[in-house]
Structure 1
Amino acid sequence: MAKVKKVKKETIQDFSKYIRWFWMLFLGGVLIVFLVFLLASWGLLGDMPDHTQLENPKTNLATEIISSDGKTLGKFYLNDNRTPITYDELPQNLVDALVATEDARFHEHSGIDARGTLRAIAFFGKNGGASTVSQQLAKQLFHKREKANIFKKLSQKIREWVIATRLERQYTKEEIIAQYFNIYDFLNNADGIRSASRIYFSKEPKDLSIKESAMLVGMFKNSALYNPRRNPVGVKNRRNVVLYQMEKYGYITKKVKDSLQKTELGLKYSPESHREGIATYFRGYLDGYMKKWIKNNLKPDGTKYNLYNDGLKIYTTIDSRMQKYAEVAVQQHMPRLQAEFFVQNTTKRNPTTPFLDLNKKEINSLLKRSMKQSERWRHMKFDLKKSDKEIEASFTKPAQMTVFTWKEGRASEVDTIMKPIDSIRYYKSFLRTGVMSMDPLTGHVKAWVGGMNYRHFQYDMVKQGKRQVGSTFKPFVYATAIDQLHYSPCDEFPDTPFCIEEGKFGNAEEWCPKNAGGEYGGNRTLKNALANSVNTITARLIDKVGPQTVVDLAKKLGIKSDVPSVPSIALGVPEISLYEMVGAYSTFANQGVYTKPVMVTSIEDKNGTVLYQFKPETRDVISEETAYVTVKLMEGVTQSGSGARLRTKGADKYRADYKEIITGYPYQFTNPIAGKTGTTQNQSDGWFMGMVPNLVTGVWVGGEDRAVHFKTVKYGQGAAMALPIWGLYMKSCYADESLNVSKASFEKPKNLSINVDCSKETNDNDEEGPEEVPDDLSF
C-alpha cells in the first residue's frame, strides 16, 4: 500500500512539471507578444505615426469649386481627386454594406478582431482574413503593401494592429468609417467615396441606392480587379456577394437581395477631369485666378497653399442651372450654324475654303504662323530640341489623331489619320462662340461658356479672346449724347450721307461711313436709328460729342481694352472681350452704376476657415436718367429692329441633313428686353447683347481668324449667329421658375425729364422690320 502511494506522488510531481512549463511558455509567449507590440509602438519594427500624425493624417485633398446653388462644378487636383465628407453624409445602406462585408463585428472590437484573427490562423486565411476596418484604414493611411519576405510582412501586420488600436482610441467608430470611405481609391480619378459616387453614378453619396452602395463596397476587395469600366461582369458578381452578406447579417431581406442581384450595375459614368464636365472654360479661368491669389496669400506658417493638395473650397457666383442652360443653348445652335457654313464653304464653291478674301500665299503664311503657335511645335522645339526644318517636315507626315466633330447635332470625336498641317486648317473651319451672363446689381457672373468644347478648343472667348464689337458699341455713343446733350429717343436726325472731315478729331483722313446695303432716306428718330443700326446717324452723334468723350465713358464702364480716340469707334472697330462688354452693358441695367463682375465670393481652407471674402467694387458712371433712356433706346432693337425675331414665331422647316423639323423662332418673348445686335466687316463677328432688369447676357460667334466667315450677311449677321443662343438660353431660364429671372419692366427714374414715349411719332421708318434671317438657323 505504501508503494502505491509513492507512485502517485511521483506522477503528480511529474505532472506539475508540465504545468509549470505550460505557464512558463504561456507567460513567456504573452511577454514576447507584449514586447513585440511594445517594440512596434516604439517604432523599432519600422516607422510609426506619432500622435500628431494620427490626429491629422496627411492626405491629398482636391480643391473643390462650388456653385452659388451649392453644386460642385469641378475640382483641381493632380493625382488625388479627393473631397472628404462626414459620417452624417453617408447613407445608412452604404455603412451597412461595409460592416456586413468587411468587418461584421466592427462595433464590438477595439481595432483587432480576436475571433477573426484566430480563425485566420487556424485555417491559414482560407476562411476569410482577419483585417478589421480599423486595420485597413491604418494600412491606407500609413503603410504601403510590402512585397518583401514574410518577416517584413509580419512586421507590417503587427504595426497595423498597433495603429488600429490607437485609431480606435483617437476616433469614434463613425469617424473611422468616414475616414475609410474618404481614403480609398476607387480608380478612374474616383478618390474617396464622394468622387466615386459622382463619377460612377452622377450623384452625391447620400443619394446612393442599396445596389449602388453594394457595388462600391465590393470594390474594397480589390479596385484594380473590380473596375466597373473594365470588368463589369466581375463587379456585378462581387456586388452580389455584398448583397448576400447584407442579407446574412439582417440588413436587407432575402426578397430584396434576390431582386437586386438580378439588376444591372446601372452606371452613369461621369468623369471628373479638367477638360470634361460643366463650366470647363470658367474652371480654366479660375485656375489662373487661384494661382495669382495663392502667390499673394500665404499660410500662417509662411508657406504657400497648394491648389491641388490642400483641400481648399472656392465658392463661386456661377449658377449650375444657368450654366447648363447656356451650354445646352450653344450645343443646340452651333452645329446647325456650322452645318450651313460647311455647305457654303465646300471646295467646289470656295477653292480657298475655309478662308475668304485670302490668296494662296496669305493662307500659307497664316497656317505657318499657326504651326508655330501650336503645342506640337512647342513640344518638339523645347522638349525634343528639334530644328525648325525637322518640325515643319513633321507637319506634312500623316499621323493618327482624334479630332472634334459635330455628329447628329452633338459634340463628338472621331479617330482619323491626318497631316497635322491639315488638322490646323480643319480646326480653323469651325465657328467659335462665347457666352457670359451676369446679375447687373450684384455683379455675380451666373454663366460662362468660353467655347464649344474645352478638350479641343481651349482658347476662352469670354475673357481671353478679344474681337471687334461692331454695332454693340453704338449704345456707348448714344449714351454719351444723351448724357452730354440731353437727347431723347424721339429726336430726329437726317438719314443721309455724312462725313467727318480730315483732322477734326485727329483722324488721318476724311471719314464717311455708309449704311448697311447703302440705303438712305428721310429722317429717323434715335430709337429707330439704333434699332436698325443706322451708321450715318451714329456718325452724326460722335461728331457732336467727340470720340474722346465716348472713350472716357467706355473706360468708366469697365472697358480696359484699347479704344482709340477716332471717329470710327462709333461703328465698333475696337477689339473688346465679351467679359468687358457684359460688365459695361450691366451699368445701363443697374441704373448707371458700374459693378465689377464677380466670379469668386469666398475661399475656405479644408477646416472651413475663411481665407478670402470678396468686397463689391462699384462706381457711379452715368445718371439714372441717362441709363434708363439708353435702355429704352435698346428696347427698340427687340421691338422693331434686328432683335425683333425674339418676339415673333418663324416658320418651321425640314432640314434633310438633320432629318428633322427645325423650329423657326420659338422664343415669342413678351416681356421688356433691351438689346443690341452687332456685325463686323465681312461678317467676321456676330454679337448679341441682351438685358432684362436682373440679368445681362452677351453672346459672340465667329471664326478663329477673321478670314473665316459667311459670304453674305444673311447668315453672317449677329441676329443669325449670336441671337439664337441668347434666345434659347433665356427660354430655359424663364422655364425654370426657381431662378426668378425678371419679366418686369426696367425701373423708371422718379424725376425723368427726357421724353421716352415715341408712340405718337409718325415717322414711317419706325415701322421697319428686321433684316432677313434664315428660319432654319433661328429655331
Structure 2
Amino acid sequence: MIKLKTLLRKTWVKWSFRLFIAGLVFLLSLYICTYLGVFGKLPTKDVLSSLKQAEATQILDVNEKLIGKYYIYDRQPLTYEAFPQHLIDALVATEDARFYEHHGVDNISLLRVFFKNILLGDSSAGGGSTITLQLAKNLYGRQHYWAFSMLINKFKESITARRIEDVYSKKEILTLYLNTVPFPDNTYGIESASQKFFNKTASQLTIAESATLVGTLKANNYYNPRKYLERSTSRRNVVLNQMVKYNYLDKEQASQLQTDSLLLKYQSFNHDVGLAPYFRAQVKQELKEILNELKKPNGDAYDLYKDGLVVHTTLDATMQTYAEEAMKEHLIKLQEAYEASYGKNAPWSKDSPIVDKAIKELPAYKRYKNDGLSHEQILDSLSVSRNMDVFTWKEIATKPMSVIDSLQHYLKLLNTGMLSLDPKTGAIKAYIGGIDYRYYKYDHVSQSERQVGSTFKPFVYTAAIENGMKPCTYFSLEAITYTNFNNWKPTNAGAEEENPDINYNLEAALSNSVNTIAVKVLNDVGISNVIAQANKMGITKELPEQPSLALGVAEINLKQLTAAYTSFVNNSKPVKPYAITKIEDKAGNVIASFEPEVFEEKAYSDYTRQVMLQMMKSTVNTGTAKRLRSSYNLNNDIAGKTGTTQDNKDGWFVGITPNLVTVTWVGNDNYNIGFKTTGLGQGANSALPMFAKFYQKLNKDKTYNQITKAHFEKPSQDVLSDLDCKPEKEDGWLKKLFKSKKTEKEFKGK
C-alpha cells in the first residue's frame, strides 16, 4: 500500500494518469459530437427503415436470360430465401462468428482485438468488425476529416450499426449486407457477383463457389479470382476451414472441396464487353427516349442506372452467341487473306496517301497544327511509342505503339454488321454491329449507311413483276452505253458480256446478278416506279434517280435493308425491327410494353412475292450463292441475294428463310480501302460465309428446328407456269442477221 502511494506521487505516473483521463474525456467528447451529428448527420431509425439503394437495370433476352445491365454500381437485390444456407454459413463463419450474439458491435471481439492485437501484437485476433458494422460502412461510406478520420468514421458506423440492429432482424441484416457488399470488378451484391464470376444465380452457388466469393470480401482486388486464381483458391480454403471451425461444415467434406480446382465461368456485364454489346448500346438509346415519356406514380422520372428496372428484349442469347462465333470464325480467316492479298504495297503502309490523309484528319494532328507545329514536328510527336492495348483476332495485346502505328493497324482491319429478324414481327434475334465494341463504337447495323450493291436488284425486279413484266421476259447480256448519262456503260463481272446474242430470263439474270440486264429492267420499268416500290417495302432513304440505282449505288442502313426483305416471307408486308417487348419496375409492375409494327398494306401482290421468292431461291440453288449448298452443305429452305459494290468496297449477303431473315455486311470503315480482288471481296466470299456458319450452328441445335426445318410457301400454279422457261436462250440466225450493232442509246426509264 505504501509502495502504491509512493508510486502515485511520482510525477510521470500523475501525468500518465492525467493523459489517460484526458484521452477518455476526448474519446467520449468525440463520440458525443459524432452522435449529435457534428461530423455529419447520422441516419435515423426512420431513414434506416426505408433504405433505398441504387439498383442496376437488367437486360433480359427473349428467354429471360440476363444479357447485360446498366448501372453506376452493379447491384441486383435478392430476398433472404434466395440465399443458399451454405452461403450464409460461410459469411458468418468468416466475417462475424458471433453475429447472432451481439447487437451490432461485438464488445467481446473488440476486447480480444485490444489485448491480443494491440497489447500482445498478435495479428490473428482480427479487426473486431461485425457484419452490421460493415453494412453501415457499405451503406454510407466513409468521409475524410481534417483529423481523427478513422475514429470518427468508426464511431459513426458503431452508432449506425446499433440503430440497424434495432430496426432489422438478423435475417434482414444479412439480406441487406449480401445485396450491398462490394465484390471484385466493381460488382455490388452477391447476385451480381454470382452472375459475373460463375454465370449462375446466387441460389445455384455451390459450397466452394460461395466460399470463393465470401473469401474476396477480405480484399476485393487482392483475392479477385479472375486476376489471381491461385491466391483466390487459397483464400477459399481458409473460408472452408472457418466453416469447419464453427461447425457449419464437416471436416472431411471441406478437405474434399479444398482439393477441387476453382473453375470460373466469367461473364462480364461491362458495357463494352460481353454478349451483344452493340445491341445493348442500341437498347440503351431507345430506353432513354422511352423513359423520358414515363413517370413514376409519385411523378418522379425513372433513372436508368439506379431504379432496378427490368427490360425484356427480343434478342435470343443462344442465337446471338452462334452469330458472334460465326462472325469471328469467318473474319479471322478473311482478315488473313485480305492482308496477304495486298502484300507489301498495302493501302495502310507507311507511305500510302491514304495513311497520310488519315493522319491529317486525326484530332491530335489538328491540335498540334493549331499550336503552330510544322508537319514534320507533328509526325515526330505522333511517332512516339507508348504501351497501349491493341485489338487483334487472337487476343487483346499490350504493345508499344505510336499514334501512327495504331492508325495503320486499325486501317487494315475489316469490319462487319449482321442482323437477324423474325419476319413476322420484326423482333431482333441476333445483332452484330461490329467486330469489337471496345475499339469500334460505330454501329454498322443502326448507324452505318453503305452502298448496297446487288442486294438492291430484287427491288428492281419486284417493281418489274409488279408492273406487269413476265418472269420469262428475256434480255440480252450485251453491254449498252447510255449517252444521256455521261456515256455510262455498265458491264458484268466475268465473261458474260462477251456474247451479246445470249439472253437471260429474269430468274437467271437475278440469280446470276447480271448487271447489264438489271439496268435494262430498270430502264423498262422506270426509276420512279422502282423507287416507289422500294418505299412501299420500307426504304425511307432518298434514293438517287440514276440508272446506277439498279446496281445498288444507294447507301442504305443495314437495319432498313433487312426489314425490307422480310416482306418476301411475310405476306408481302415489311416489318419494323424492334428490340424491347416490355419494361418492368423493380417490383415487377409493367410500366411499358411494345407490340410488333407491321405495315398495314401489302407492298406488292401475292403473285409478285411468290415469283421473287422462287427467283431468289435460284440464287442459292444455282446462282451466285450456290456455295451455301456446295461448300457449306446447307439443305435448308433458303432464298438469298449476294451483293458487291464498285471496287469491291462492300460485300453483302441476304439470307431469307421462312422464319428468319438475316443480312450480313463486310467492308473496311475507311471507304478508300476495298478488297484487292473481286474473288476475295465479292459478297459470296466476304459476307455469305458468316451467314452459312451461323446456320450450320443453328442446324445442330434442335431448339431451332422451327427455323431450320421450316419450308417456304408453295407457289401457285400460275407462278410455276410463268417461270417454266429456259433460263437462257441464244438469238437465232435470222435475228442475228437483222440485229442492230449499235450499242449506244439513251436511258429513258425515268
TM-score range, shorter chain: 0.7 to 0.9
**Aligned counterparts, 1:379-418, within 5 A:** 380=367, 386=371, 389=374, 392-393=378-379, 396-402=382-388, 404=390, 406=392, 410-418=393-401
Give the deviation of 1:198 after TM superposition: 3.3
User: Is structure 2 residue 519 aligned with structure 1 residue 515?
Assistant: no
User: Is structure 2 residue 550 aligned with structure 1 residue 570?
Assistant: yes
User: Is structure 2 residue 447 aligned with structure 1 residue 461?
Assistant: no
Is the CA contact 2:215–2:239 (under 8 Å) kept in the aligned structure 1? yes
User: Is structure 2 residue 521 aligned with structure 1 residue 541?
Assistant: yes
Q: What is the rounded CA distance, in whole Å, between the counterparts of 2:136 and 2:277 in structure 1?
A: 37
Is the CA contact 2:452–2:555 (under 8 Å) kept in the aligned structure 1? yes
1:177 to 149, 174, 180: 174
Q: What is the rounded CA distance, in whole Å, between the counterparts of 2:391 and 2:172 in structure 1?
A: 48
Structure 1 residues not aligned, in runs of 5+ = 1-32, 649-664, 767-779
Q: What is the rounded CA distance, in whole Å, between the counterparts of 2:548 and 2:673 in structure 1?
A: 23
Is the CA contact 1:493–1:537 (under 8 Å) kept in the aligned structure 2? no
Q: Which residue identity does 1:397 align to in structure 2? A: S
1:325 to 322, 326, 329: 322
2:505 to 495, 518, 525: 525
Give the deviation of 1:557 after TM superposition: 2.1
Q: What is the rounded CA distance, in whole Å, between the counterparts of 1:388 and 1:276 in structure 2?
A: 38
1:139 to 129, 137, 147: 137
Give the deviation of 1:536 after TM superposition: 2.7
1:714 to 665, 675, 679: 679
CA distance 1:622–1:762, change in 2 (3 Å):
closer
2:54 to 43, 50, 60: 60
Q: What is the rounded CA distance, in whole Å, between the counterparts of 1:717 and 1:155 in structure 2?
A: 70
CA distance 1:727–1:42, change in 2 (3 Å):
same
User: Is structure 2 residue 707 aligned with structure 1 residue 741?
Assistant: yes
Q: What is the rounded CA distance, in whole Å, between the counterparts of 2:63 and 2:373 in structure 1?
A: 50
1:612 to 570, 592, 602: 592
2:564 to 558, 578, 584: 584
- Greater Cα offset, 467-476 or 131-140: 131-140
CA distance 1:710–1:268, change in 2 (3 Å):
same
User: Is structure 2 residue 189 aligned with structure 1 residue 192?
Assistant: yes
SS of alignment partner, residue 700 of structure 1: strand
User: Is structure 2 residue 427 aligned with structure 1 residue 444?
Assistant: yes
**Aligned counterparts, 1:531-680, within 5 A:** 531-619=511-599, 620=601, 621-648=603-630, 665=631, 667-680=632-645
1:77 to 71, 74, 84: 71
- Greater Cα offset, 417-426 or 183-192: 417-426
CA distance 1:717–1:387, change in 2 (3 Å):
same
Q: Which residue identity does 2:474 align to in structure 1? A: F
- Greater Cα offset, 684-693 or 605-614: 605-614
CA distance 1:389–1:115, change in 2 (3 Å):
same
Is the CA contact 2:389–2:399 (under 8 Å) kept in the aligned structure 1? yes
Which residue of structure 1 lines up, in the alignment, with residue 304 of structure 2?
Answer: 307
- Greater Cα offset, 135-144 or 475-484: 135-144
Q: Deviations over 1:62-120 (max 9, x none)?
A: 33222222222222334x22232333333332122112222344445554556556655
**Aligned counterparts, 1:245-284, within 5 A:** 245-284=242-281
SS of alignment partner, residue 251 of structure 1: coil
SS of alignment partner, residue 696 of structure 1: strand
CA distance 1:527–1:233, change in 2 (3 Å):
closer
Q: What is the rounded CA distance, in whole Å, between the counterparts of 2:482 and 2:650 in structure 1?
A: 28
CA distance 1:220–1:706, change in 2 (3 Å):
closer
CA distance 1:223–1:283, change in 2 (3 Å):
same
Is the CA contact 1:562–1:575 (under 8 Å) kept in the aligned structure 2? no
Give the deviation of 1:704 after TM superposition: 2.0
User: Is structure 2 residue 67 aligned with structure 1 residue 87?
Assistant: no
Is the CA contact 1:404–1:411 (under 8 Å) kept in the aligned structure 2? no
Which residue of structure 1 lines up, in the alignment, with residue 719 of structure 2?
Answer: 755
Q: Which residue identity does 1:398 align to in structure 2? A: V
CA distance 1:403–1:430, change in 2 (3 Å):
farther
- Greater Cα offset, 519-528 or 100-109: 100-109
CA distance 1:218–1:146, change in 2 (3 Å):
farther
Which residue of structure 2 lines up, in the alignment, with residue 481 of structure 1?
Answer: 464
1:691 to 643, 656, 660: 656
Which residue of structure 2 lines up, in the alignment, with residue 727 of structure 1?
Answer: 692
Is the CA contact 1:240–1:261 (under 8 Å) kept in the aligned structure 2? yes
Q: What is the rounded CA distance, in whole Å, between the counterparts of 1:419 and 1:157 in structure 2?
A: 49
Is the CA contact 2:347–2:355 (under 8 Å) kept in the aligned structure 1? no
Q: Which residue identity does 1:93 align to in structure 2? A: H
Which residue of structure 1 lines up, in the alignment, with residue 745 of structure 2?
Answer: none
Q: What is the rounded CA distance, in whole Å, between the counterparts of 2:477 and 2:664 in structure 1?
A: 31
CA distance 1:375–1:305, change in 2 (3 Å):
farther
Is the CA contact 1:596–1:617 (under 8 Å) kept in the aligned structure 2? yes
SS of alignment partner, residue 588 of structure 2: coil
CA distance 1:372–1:203, change in 2 (3 Å):
farther
Q: Which residue identity does 1:566 align to in structure 2? A: Q
CA distance 1:186–1:387, change in 2 (3 Å):
farther
Q: What is the rounded CA distance, in whole Å, between the counterparts of 1:232 and 1:185 in structure 2?
A: 19
Structure 2 residues not aligned, in runs of 5+ = 1-26, 731-750
Paired positions, count? 692
Q: Which residue identity does 2:648 align to in structure 1? A: Q
Give the deviation of 1:394 after TM superposition: 5.5
Is the CA contact 1:557–1:584 (under 8 Å) kept in the aligned structure 2? yes
SS of alignment partner, residue 261 of structure 1: helix
Which residue of structure 2 lines up, in the alignment, with residue 219 of structure 1?
Answer: 216
Give the deviation of 1:587 after TM superposition: 1.5
CA distance 1:139–1:465, change in 2 (3 Å):
same
Q: What is the rounded CA distance, in whole Å, between the counterparts of 1:294 and 1:434 in structure 2?
A: 28
Q: Which residue identity does 2:441 align to in structure 1? A: Q
Give the deviation of 1:438 after TM superposition: 0.9
Q: Deviations over 1:650-694 (max 9, x none)?
A: xxxxxxxxxxxxxxx2x3122210100011112211110001111
Q: What is the rounded CA distance, in whole Å, between the counterparts of 1:190 and 1:98 in structure 2?
A: 17
Q: What is the rounded CA distance, in whole Å, between the counterparts of 1:174 and 1:143 in structure 2?
A: 22
Q: Deviations over 1:413-437 (max 9, x none)?
A: 3333444234323321222111111
Give the deviation of 1:373 after TM superposition: 4.9
Give the deviation of 1:193 after TM superposition: 1.8
Is the CA contact 2:58–2:69 (under 8 Å) kept in the aligned structure 1? yes
**Aligned counterparts, 1:11-160, within 5 A:** 43=37, 46-51=40-45, 53-78=47-72, 80-107=73-100, 111-113=104-106, 116=109, 127-128=125-126, 130-144=128-142, 156-157=153-154, 159-160=156-157
Q: Which residue identity does 1:103 align to in structure 2? A: D
SS of alignment partner, residue 494 of structure 2: helix
Is the CA contact 1:692–1:743 (under 8 Å) kept in the aligned structure 2? no
Give the deviation of 1:572 after TM superposition: 0.7
CA distance 1:306–1:394, change in 2 (3 Å):
farther
SS of alignment partner, residue 532 of structure 2: helix
Q: What is the rounded CA distance, in whole Å, between the counterparts of 2:76 and 2:645 in structure 1?
A: 47
Give the deviation of 1:212 after TM superposition: 1.8
Q: What is the rounded CA distance, in whole Å, between the counterparts of 2:394 and 2:230 in structure 1?
A: 30
Taking only aligned residues, the RMSD between alpha carbons, in angstroms, comes to 3.4
CA distance 1:604–1:381, change in 2 (3 Å):
farther
Q: What is the rounded CA distance, in whole Å, between the counterparts of 1:628 and 1:36 in structure 2?
A: 85
CA distance 1:763–1:542, change in 2 (3 Å):
closer
Q: What is the rounded CA distance, in whole Å, between the counterparts of 1:370 and 1:290 in structure 2?
A: 35
SS of alignment partner, residue 451 of structure 1: coil
